[in-house]
Chain A
């Protein structure tokens, strides 16, 4: 219990029950509390497990490959001879897809959130939000299918130079995938802006556009920023759609029409092959996984930090 009052009450209660309940019951209560504590500990152990597994194998990997080559190398070909272990092409591919997804999702998502929060009548909001939940609930492999069957052919008909597998089609479907996240989080913070702020600016003769763009959006800005960060972090970690649509050729390029490979897609590629455990090729997935884990972790922590700063504003 988090509030002060219930805590006092429950300690009173345990004093009282101490006088009346049998020792057996007391032990039982203690055991139950311990079992529940263990359940809560599982979540902490998961984090420790992730970090431990990634670090142990990655450290083995860095015995064979120097961290300098890993971070600054511009060629990634661990499965082919001659082997190169520079993660920059994978990072570049991940960033390309995430940036493309952001370009698709941020304008549409923010405008939708603004419409839902500032313009839409109640019934529209109540119909659209469950529909967006459906969009959020569709498994990512379905988006991958959509990229291959629908988006990629369109892109290829528009740009002749486009590869069958290209970063653009992956970006577009990942953008659609993170849309609901941006909409629902942004809409929440927009609606949390106090009514009085809006009324004050209407009283000064502002139009609805002025109120929305110069008062409401700036007031909710850090929350909106947090939603962008969380959504981009989701795009960075997205696996199935990019594995299917973006290709499997690690490349240091910013051209979205080319076939690239992301960190997540590489991990899938290796685990689908017959790479024997204990080899340096096998350990690359832990090194790549570690990079991926820290990238997304950093963005999530940043988003939470930004979000915490807004919460204090109007209280």
Chain B
């Protein structure tokens, strides 16, 4: 081997190592962004977090401002959205996986769902404004908000449920058919119970999306200042992300800290939801072995 070739070899080895380092740095910067974000929020908001903050109504004064109505609104929205979107989403997934013939029609519906998942959420807000708020005259009610959010999360639920259904091996269905069960009996008694944990993960993901989503609610005209807790479907509402948006947009420093405290509450609820998802996934990975 000539001297030149050895040198070249050493150089390319150095380059290779340098590239690995650059890639590692990129990875570390992703993690740094996460740490920075959480640290920023925690360091600004933790002092403002108290029981009064959770119990108080919104206020013009940062020290008195609370998230009672926003938190209640968010929980209402999340509950309603789940009630509306989960049955429809699961039904659609069951139809597409178990019933629909494998033809053009199915391909079109499937492509359509994939595209809907990529539509910006504010566009759903415009749909909600045109359809629910104006056309169906629901005004800025909590029902209009929940219906809009349901449309936002529907593609997520359908896609996750389809995946869960596909993970159930055909042999389970064949065995059920062989015992004389009808199609629906097979789905209800065999396929659904087996795929439920997988669906749950998707549903929880969808719920966390609904909880953090503010853009479609702003588009249908939700406002931050609502001085009462909603008690019926036709009430006006506000939600946590909207309240946080409103506080962040104000020029006063103190309101930024209040926003940070609101973010902590929002993230805590999200973490709880995701912990449930992780728990469900963990339990099923232990239980089911096909």
Contacts and interface: CB of A to CB of B under 8 A. Distances in A.
A62 interface: no
**Band of interface residues on B:** 35 or more
Nearest to B13: A207
Given A119-B23, A209-B12, A293-B119, A138 B37 contact: yes
Interface in B240-268: 241, 244-245, 248-249, 256, 259-260, 263, 266-267
A296 interface: yes
B227 interface: no
Contacts of B15: 207, 209
A176 B154 contact: no
A47 B214 contact: no
A111 B25 CA distance: 9
Contact of A141 (B151, B183, B214): B214
B95 interface: yes
A118 B267 CA distance: 33
Contacts of A208: 16, 19-20
Contact of B177 (A13, A47, A107, A267): A13
Task: Tell me whether chain A's interface is mostly helix, strand or loop, or mixed.
Answer: helix
Interface string B85-119: 00111111011111111100000010111111011
A112 B118 contact: no
Task: Tell me whether chain B's interface is mostly helix, strand or loop, or mixed.
Answer: helix
B170 to A, nearest CB: 5
Given A36-B91, A145-B259, A293-B119, A108 B127 contact: no
A169 interface: no
Interface in B147-161: 151, 154-155, 158
A100 to B, nearest CB: 15
A163 interface: no
Contacts of B249: 244
A36 B123 contact: no
Contacts of B30: 108, 112, 128, 132, 135, 179-180, 183
B91 A271 contact: no
Interface centre among A140, A210, A238 (most CB of B within 10 A): A140
Given A43-B109, A244-B245, 4 more contacts: A14-B183, A141-B244, A244-B249, A271-B221
Interface of A: 1-3, 5-7, 9-10, 13-14, 16-17, 20-21, 25, 28-29, 32-33, 35-40, 42-44, 46-47, 49-50, 53-54, 56-57, 107-112, 114-116, 118-120, 128, 131-132, 134-135, 137-146, 148-150, 176, 179-180, 183, 207-210, 212-213, 230, 233-234, 236-240, 243-244, 264, 267-268, 271-272, 277, 285-286, 289, 292-293, 296-297, 300-301, 304
21 contacts: A7-B101, A17-B182, A33-B95, A43-B116, A46-B154, A50-B127, A53-B126, A135-B30, A135-B33, A137-B212, A138-B212, A142-B267, A150-B36, A150-B40, A179-B30, A237-B123, A243-B245, A244-B248, A271-B125, A285-B129, A296-B119
